[in-house]
Amino acid sequence: MSLEEKMEADARSIYVGNVDYGATAEELEAHFHGCGSVNRVTILCDKYSGHPKGFAYIEFSDKESVRTSMALDESLFRGRQIKVIPKRTNRPGISSTDRGFPRARYRGRGGGFSSARARFYSAYSRPRGRAYRPPGGDRDLMGPPKSAPHHPTSAP
């Protein structure tokens, strides 16, 4: 099956989460039969134990059935509230575990400090202490306006 065929089949498919572990493909097909003609029901199972994982994919004959099946989101199936969303296509080369940064054990900006200290002493973040707030609301924290004379608040 080519990538284009797979994407087209995925566009006609839904993900069903929180499926009861004893559910059969026939029961799922019957639950979603009113949404349209069902081509395939796939209940995923653990490859080592063979037990169901608790979710399934349902492929319909047409894309309109996917929109119709969204009405069954949060419906009860075998006493459990199921989650129904359109199936997404896994594209080759894009991993769900790859978050865009290297899996290194060092911190980029922290210097030699532990992570808590790096956050406090880092030049890139402000320390979490009390800030001086001048009376008068939302004025600049850098001091009085340039036109006003400077009056220190802690002078004797």
Q: How far apart are CA 14 and CA 111, in angstroms?
A: 47
pLDDT at 155: 56
How far, CA to CA in Å, does 149 sit from each of 73, 111, 141, 146? 65, 41, 16, 8
Q: What pTM did the predictor assign?
A: 0.59
DSSP letters for the chain: --HHHHHHHHHTEEEEES--TT--HHHHHHHTGGGS-EEEEEEEE-TTT--EEEEEEEEESSTHHHHHHGGGTT-EETTEE-EEEEPPPPPTT--SS--SS---SS-SS-TTS-HHHHHHH-TTS---SPPP--SSSS--TT-S-TTSPP--TT--
Nearest C-alpha neighbor of 60 from the set 73, 45, 70: 70
Give the per-residue pLDDT at 57.
96
- The confidence score (pLDDT) of residue 90 equals 76
pLDDT at 156: 58
Per-residue pLDDT of the chain (156 residues; tens, 9 = 90+): 888 888 999 999 999 999 999 999 999 999 999 999 999 999 999 999 999 999 999 999 999 999 999 999 999 999 999 999 999 987 777 766 665 555 555 555 554 545 555 444 545 555 555 555 556 655 555 555 566 555 566 555
